[in-house]
Amino acid sequence: MSKFLPPSEFAAGGAYSLLPFNFTRLDGERYVATNMAGEYLTLDPRNLERLVRHEVRPDETLFRDLRAKHFIEVQGDRSPRELLALKTRTRYQRLPNFTNLHIFVATLRCDHSCPYCQVSRQSEDRAAFDMSSEIADRSLDLMFRSPSPALKLEFQGGEPLLNFDLVRYVVEKAESRAKLESRELEIVIATTLSLATQEILEYCRDHRILLSTSLDGPADLHNRNRPRPGRDSYERYMQGLQKAREIVGFDRVSALMTTTQHSLPRVREIIDEYVTNGFDGIFLRPLSPYGFAVKTKAIDAYDLTRWLEFYFEGLEYILELNLAGVPFREHYAALVLQKMLTSNDPGYVDLMNPAGTGTAAVVFNYDGGVFASDEARMLAEMGDMTFKLGNVLENTYEDIFLSEHLLQALEDSFTLSAPMCSECAFEPFCGADPVYAHAIHGDVVGRKPSSDFCRRNMAIFRRLITMMESNSATKEIFRNWGARC
């Protein structure tokens, strides 16, 4: 007697029920449909119509794809619904351990005068804009109230190396407390490297501190975008980069760029600069509407359409490099692809839902002010205190993280209930940015049809899906990016 039932016993009947999904046009010929867990399929109009009319037959490949990706369930089989719920829970598993990233603004002083800077920086001799040890102590107390078992401490400025005594003080106290409480602790300093001495770099090596630096492209472009006295920003950066890699470690130094109007025609040169200097990827970042970028009108120098042309030209060039045997990634695309191709959420603040403001990151300003995100701090420097959650010298942890400013913004911007977001096929890949929406539109939800945040992300989502569907080699490259993110 056979121990197993024949295959016919497992064949699906023709009747099926639809599980929740949204759809939107991908291009002139196809639609993209997504479910709550971010599984997606591309469908031509005829097959989309057949799907919703329950006309897809069990012997079709499409039927099997729809079952495998939890768009339909057949009578008597509840596993698709259970798997869909499991994958959805996985995407939100970070929520109980909220606020991993804690940003300490060590000083507003800086030796650079970048016209696009998002911060109201101060000159090097303005020590009144340094964080004190008292504010640092109270900030550390709040940081270690976080329920997250893994904490990330990032020093920003200005230039944090101008207040390195405070950096040392915080690092050693944080390390001691993390050891006592059995917490994982990662420490990052965001620096231009122009002031990185042998002593500072050896300290970073000894304390396993990561360095996040800025490189805008070739020498003339970097010096133009990031001016400093002596007009030697690029030269000092390269000297600092070499020393940092030798002392701290090659893979412990990363770089970010910002796109100005001068960058737009030079994306290939910028990428080549990163490749030549041994970086394994680049984040092609647009300007943000905060701080000096607004005061100097740098934010008005180009529009979204021009930036998208820059971005997609860069993305195509990076793919050319990969196909030629040069492994290199565009980091923003990699973050999106992880959300598209896996059940994991990379935890990138701008692509989180509920919004990452306060739940993923919090900022302790040099003067004790607590802000829901780095952008919220930048908004405050422009005089808008909407997202100031309190002050470390005056408020408790409960006051700050149960602040009505924070909770109301999170609730109102939640994409599964926000107008237009809740019906958008790209919702599983996107996130909420209430600070940006408030800065541009005056409320935390924003006006989606005119939002550059929405238009930029939707254009990127469409392009990534189209590129994967059109070329198997590209899809394999993108799969590797998503898996490594």
Please check whether residues 140 and 278 belong to one and the same domain: yes
Whether residue 332 is found in the same domain as residue 376: yes
> How far apart, in Å, are the Cα atoms of 47 and each of 21, 350, 476?
15, 34, 26
In the chain, the number of structural domains is 3
Is the pLDDT assigned to residue 76 strictly greater than 90? no
Residue 433, in any domain of the structure: yes
**Domain of 72, in residue numbers:** 15-91
Residue at 6 is within a domain: no
This prediction has a pTM of: 0.92
Q: Are residues 228 and 198 in the same domain?
A: yes
Q: Say what the pLDDT of residue 296 is.
A: 47
User: Is the pLDDT at 255 greater than 70, yes or no?
Assistant: yes
Q: What is the band of 218 on the pLDDT scale with cuts at 50, 70, 90?
A: very high
Shared domain for 202 and 242, answered yes or no, is: yes
How far, in Å, CA of 232 to CA of 236, rounded?
6
The answer on 356 and 243 residing in a single domain is: yes
With cut-offs at 50, 70 and 90, classify the pLDDT of residue 351: very high
159: Cα separation from own chain's centroid: 22
pLDDT-based confidence at 292, cuts 50/70/90? very low
pLDDT-based confidence at 2, cuts 50/70/90? Answer: low
pLDDT of residue 344: 84
Q: What pLDDT, on a 0 to 100 scale, did the predictor assign at position 378?
A: 86
